[in-house]
Chain A
Amino acid sequence: MSNNIIVSGSPHVQTEETVSKMMYHVVIALVPALLLSFWVFGISAFVVTVVAVASCLAFEYLIQRFVLKVPTTLNDGSALLTGILLAMNIPAGFPIWMVLIGSLVAIGIAKLSFGGLGSNIFNPALVARVFLLISFPVHMTRWPEAFANRMSLSDATTGATPLGYLKEELREGNVNIQDLMDSLPQYSDMLYGFMGGSIGEISALALLAGGIYLLWKKVITWHIPGAMLGSIIVFSSIMWMVDPSQYADPLFHLITGGIMLGAFYMATDLVTSPMSAKGKIVFGVGIGMLTMIIRYYGAYPEGVSFAIIIMNAFVPLIDKYLKVKRFGV
């Protein structure tokens, strides 16, 4: 018996939860939104997703194996998740070769060049999204319309997102939001996701359901989504009450664009968000405020991805100054 006896420091038991299980929980949480998107946008959304996932996995393997010469970490599930999130952040019908560039940026630059999982400062999928948005602005804002051309790879029928439409019209001046609303889908349709947008951002309802699953599985805590959504509601409510003819109502802001995707899946990325509850709240509020500032005053109609990346940069500072309260101090 004594040959097999192991001596090590306490504790002698450990949780069943592992990194890959946590990653797969996020993947499961994303499934409803993804399936809904395949239904709304058809085959082109499916192809983009498959290509993004496959290329992220491939780049992770190839770079670790042949460039870095380190053991590959494909089985931790993080590259799979990055691939899905990248696909969710670009429009259906996006050119395949551009998807490949996005994957290379996400895995090669944003993740592995920083030292791999756990060491990256910025959310890899968002770095890739912003890279693509700046490099290929036309393709990144060519939004296929819901339920049109579902069997075609290249979406001929495209239109603006509700946010983009609003921004464009308001820029012209002398318009009232109330009149513009008539040309947009019903709120209920937007809630389900029957509108133009990136593959993964359209259905607020499906994303919220997945978010609740993540809260239940304790992969994320309420602090970041709560603070982010809360600050967006407060900010947009104030603006709306001040001038309802120029500022859309809070519900419109919550269900359009990438806010739900950002609040539950992008901002809560464990690696690139703060450690303490206090820090998470500041981080979430920062993202919410920046998003709304960009939506109201920026050149782009949508600001979630920029807001998250900017706040990612503040995480080390937040971790340094917003610590948990020590016991007995």
Chain B
Amino acid sequence: MLKTFPKGGLHVPDFKLSEKETIINLDLPKTVSIPIAQHIGAPAKVIVDRKDKVKTGQIIATSAGFISANIHSPVTGVVTKVDNVLDASGYKRTAVMVRVEPDVWADGIDTDPALKTEIIFSREEIIEKIKAAGIVGLGGATFPSHVKLMVPEHAKNPELLLINGVECEPYLTADHRLMLEKPDEIIVGVNILKKGLNVKKVAIGIENNKKDAIKVLKKAASAFSDIEIVPLKVKYPQGGEKQLIKAVTRKEVPNGKLPIDVGAVVYNVGTVFAVYEAIQKNKPLIERVVTVTGKSLVKPSNFWVRIGTPIQYLLDAVGGVPEDTGKIINGGPMMGKALKDAAVPVTKGTSGILLIPGDQSKRRETQACIRCSKCVEVCPMGLEPYLLMTLAEKVLYERSKDEDVLNCIECGSCSYICPSSRPLLDYIRLGKSGVNKLMKSQKNVK
């Protein structure tokens, strides 16, 4: 019996169209636009100006708080402007625009692809270098990675470093390809993080639909008895942090607490590779793997993409956007965000671009709830989506709060499974923001 999380979840057809496609280095675009808010926390502070020359890997915006991250120039070139531009969030926000010239790497960056296994840095140096390299969680949450290594004094000591190789979103194959192509680097990255966290045990969770990745990583980790590869039963949303911890350790992160409270710290495999490059090659986070996919594409692909590259440029690389396209999604079909405009740039959190044909882009007409209880069955957080939707519709935010609407991880399982095609998650989001406003106003009164 393969491990998985027990409560809720479902099987979504996974359409991993690009799983056999080797990651290709995408050519440099003519211009890049680098948003300064690519992570959770405070936006970085820009330290370059118009007409400044920048080198690849040179820092251009610095971390502006405890939870924030440095941002580096992904290319060599000239800063053309620093301005508010539309990004993938749909809002206009500050970004640094650079006109691209041929690569000249900043001093101290080792661009030699040879594997470097020896870890010469101390725990403190590792944390400092991860922070300097601007690494954030590449699974999508984009939480600054060094913060997770700085375990607060009052917290429990970490016992387990858990690596997330689940990639449960349908269509996406970025993590899968990375595990196949860079297994040794990932294992070195794991050892670096192990040292940084000072833990003895490592588990790498991979869903069983990636048998080749399980095999390759098992081989790469064979020299390390403390690294366990854990094959997992395929079930969405197993890549959710709390679901993964539950699946691997049987422990449930208590409501309102963090993984560290059950002794676990979780990193995505993409992040682990970035850590390897930062520590062993002194290379900041300026590129990542992005899957460009969709049923209407002739050749779904995986690319190494510099941060700031316009998404349109990636789409052009796979032959352009087909005529019948109805949706362009930044991320996977379950949790990704629909884009209005493909001119927006790839950021640290962009794991894939998915095109959905027009005839599959519209939801079916909403019908009455027939109380089939499927939403309750699939909710991995044990919530009652049908009830939360009604409460949000009726603006009963006090009750929404009592029914734990804030625990929703927005995995979309309820909306996916609803036979009446009810917009459950849309209303739950409304409920969450309503409850947050309510709590804020109550706090202000006090």
A: residues with CB less than 8 A from B are 1-2, 4-15, 17-19, 21-22, 73, 76, 78, 116-119, 221, 270-277, 323-329
B62 → A minimal CB distance (Å): 32
Measured between alpha carbons, how far is A3 from B376 in the docked complex, in Å? 37
Interface residues of B (CB under 8 A from A): 7, 12, 90, 170, 242, 246, 252-257, 321, 323, 325-329, 331, 333-341, 354, 356, 358, 360-364, 367-373, 376-377, 379-384, 386, 404, 407, 410, 412-413, 415-421, 423, 425-426, 429
Are B242 and A325 neighbours in the complex by a CB distance under 8 Å?
no
Is there contact, CB below 8 Å, between A2 and B361?
Answer: no
Given contacts A7-B339, A11-B425, contact A328 B416 (CB under 8 A): no
- How distant is A72 from chain B, measured CB to nearest CB, in Å? 13
Report yes or no: A118 in contact with B370, Cβ–Cβ below 8 A.
yes
Give the residues in chain B near A118, CB-CB below 8 Å: 368-371, 420
A-B contact pairs, 13 of them (CB 8 A): A2-B340, A6-B361, A7-B327, A8-B338, A9-B425, A13-B334, A18-B419, A116-B368, A327-B7, A328-B254, A328-B255, A328-B257, A329-B404
Residues of A within 8 Å of B337, CB to CB, are 10
CB < 8 Å neighbour of A8 from B328, B363, B407:
B363
Q: Is B340 touching A325 in the complex (CB atoms < 8 A)? A: no
Asked if A11 and B412 sit within 8 Å, CB to CB, the answer is yes
Q: Is the CB of A18 within 8 A of B364?
A: yes
Q: Are A328 and B242 in contact (CB under 8 A)?
A: yes
B326 touches A6 (CB 8 A): yes
3 closest A-B pairs by beta carbon, nearest first, are A11-B412, A118-B368, A328-B255
A1, B371: Cβ atoms under 8 Å? Answer: no
Which residues of chain A are near B254, meaning CB under 8 Å? 328-329
Inter-chain pairs besides A4-B326, A11-B334, 14 sampled, C-beta below 8 Å: A2-B340, A11-B335, A15-B417, A17-B419, A18-B421, A22-B372, A274-B373, A275-B376, A276-B373, A327-B381, A328-B252, A328-B253, A328-B257, A329-B404
Chain B residues positioned under 8 Å from A15 (CB to CB): 416-419
Taking a contact as CB atoms under 8 Å apart, the answer to whether B7 and A5 are in contact is no
CB distance from A147 to the nearest CB of B (A): 39
Chain A residues within 8 Å of B242, by CB: 327-328
Bound together, the chains give a CA A5 to CA B377 distance in angstroms of 33
Q: Which residues of A contact B329 (CB under 8 A)?
A: 12
The verdict on A19 contacting B371 (CB below 8 Å), with A8-B338, A324-B382 known, is no
Please tell me which one of the listed residues B367, B376, B417 contacts residue A276 in the complex, with CB atoms under 8 A apart. B376
CA distance A193 to B393 in the complex (A): 48
A270–B368 Cα distance when bound, in Å, is 12
Residues of A within 8 A of B382 (CB): 324-327, 329
Which residues of chain A are near B326, meaning CB under 8 Å? 4-6
Q: What residues of A have a CB within 8 angstroms of the CB of B425 in the complex?
A: 9-11
Min distance, Cβ A286 to any Cβ of chain B, angstroms: 17
Inter-chain CA distance A270–B386, complex, in Å, is 13
Whether the Cβ atoms of B327 and A5 lie closer than 8 Å is yes
Residue contact B338 to A12, C-beta cutoff 8 Å = yes
Contacts of B415 in A (CB 8 A): 10-11, 14
Residue of B nearest to A275 (CB): B373
Distance of A327 Cα from B6 Cα, bound (Å): 10
In the bound complex, do residue A76 and residue B338 qualify as a contact, i.e. CB atoms below 8 Å apart? no
Judge whether B369 and A6 touch: CB under 8 Å. no
Judge whether A324 and B333 touch: CB under 8 Å.
no
Beyond A11-B412, A328-B242, whether A117 also contacts B368 by CB under 8 A is yes
Are B412 and A6 in touch, CB under 8 angstroms?
no
Chain A residues closer than 8 Å to B371, beta-carbon distance = 118, 270-273, 275
Cβ B416 vs Cβ A326 within 8 A: no
Cβ distance A43 to chain B, nearest Cβ, rounded Å: 34
